[in-house]
A and B are shown apart, each in its own frame.
Chain A
């Protein structure tokens, strides 16, 4: 007899989710999650930009000093 976790029919039913709410979390939570995602994306882009600008500054300083 196979253990129950091998049987896909024993899985919990998937939440009823619409296309704009893939996790079935409700409109308020979905909006908050989207805003957090945008915030994380902007923070990552800002970090990459900072590292890039810093690299350019260091390269320019080294080039200036020969």
Chain B
């Protein structure tokens, strides 16, 4: 496969720097990996099927490594884009520490190992779902959708939404309606989350030629679409209460969180977030070679409403899954009558 290139990439990396093992860890995108592991663990626990703790740990490890592999494959292919954006230009490939071929090889090997171990240690259905997730993210999203349509993160969001289903399948060997409800939650959450971020980083996306929604359709249309997705997400977040998946704690979290999400989306709808005079890109400082990003939440003017929605969207999703994890994990043991 031929990798796309950009002039900024060759300018950014005039000399090859030695790759440290921490650079390879950065290729796994630990932030995304931790969210994937958390949602997968929630799916696994919610399945309610007794599982050997070592097998459960292996399943979560495989999902985490699989997510990291997908991230490495993504960074190998997108190095030309990453080199142009402040948020991503300190990644190991655009920094010149790891070649794209090495990053692709690393991701490919990890993907194979994670799927193989999942099949050996857990079950074939979960391994198949994991393989599908990695391929969907690396090929459908990264290679095809990302550069071709503003619906990239809508369709590509399926890859990020699958981990709880994989976790559920690892425990139960199948994926019932409630597992797909968790999928739907993350799937519908993804567009408002990423579009809120892209509203105040649109200049970078435009520079890199990525057709994100604010770049293609403009900020006003993006704000409207974020609000529409939020109206869908609020009720969907409450749905697990009615399918027997969520208990009283989940009810409180999903109702309060859903209302807060919709309120912030409404505030952003009537703001000027993403407008050229206000959408100041975040100030980003780089710790050399560590990929450490600061200032992701630093914006000015009307873009604050988009920044707030972006930040709250992370807390909202974390709170929903944490509530489910608590109810099906520790609380189910301590308070067995919680689910009436």
A42 CB → nearest B CB, Å: 9
Instruction: Determine whether B20 belongs to the interface, using a CB cutoff of 8 Å to chain A.
Output: yes
Q: Are A32 and B19 in contact (CB under 8 A)?
A: yes
Given contacts A47-B113, A51-B120, contact A39 B18 (CB under 8 A): no
Q: Which residues of B contact A53 (CB under 8 A)?
A: 54
B242 at the interface (CB under 8 A from A): no
Answer whether residue B55 sits at the interface, using C-beta atoms and an 8 A cutoff.
Answer: yes
The smallest C-beta distance from B290 to any residue of chain A, in angstroms, reads 14
A45 within 8 A of partner (CB)? no
Inside 8 A of A47's CB, which chain B residues have their CB?
A: 113, 117
Task: Please report the C-alpha to C-alpha distance between residue A29 and residue B21 in the assembled complex, in whole angstroms.
Answer: 12
Give A24 to B147 CA distance when docked, in angstroms.
Answer: 41
Q: Give chain A interface residues in 13-59, CB to chain B under 8 Å.
A: 25, 28-29, 32-33, 35-36, 38-39, 47, 50-51, 53-54, 57
Once the chains bind, are B20 and A35 in contact (CB under 8 Å)?
A: yes
Q: In the complex where A29-B18, A32-B18, A47-B113 touch, is A54 in contact with B58 (Cβ < 8 A)?
A: yes
Q: Could you tell me the distance in whole angstroms from the C-beta of A15 to the nearest C-beta in chain B?
A: 16
Cβ of B121 within 8 Å of any chain A Cβ, yes or no, is yes
Nearest CB in chain B: distance from A47 CB, A: 7
Residue of A nearest to B16 (CB): A29
A28 touches which of B18, B21, B52, B55 (Cβ 8 Å): B18
A36 & B120 in contact (Cβ 8 Å cutoff): no
**Residues in A neighbouring B55, C-beta threshold 8 A:** 54, 57
Q: Which residues of A contact B58 (CB under 8 A)?
A: 50, 54
B residues apposed to A, CB below 8 Å: 18-21, 24, 52, 54-55, 58, 61, 113, 117, 120-121
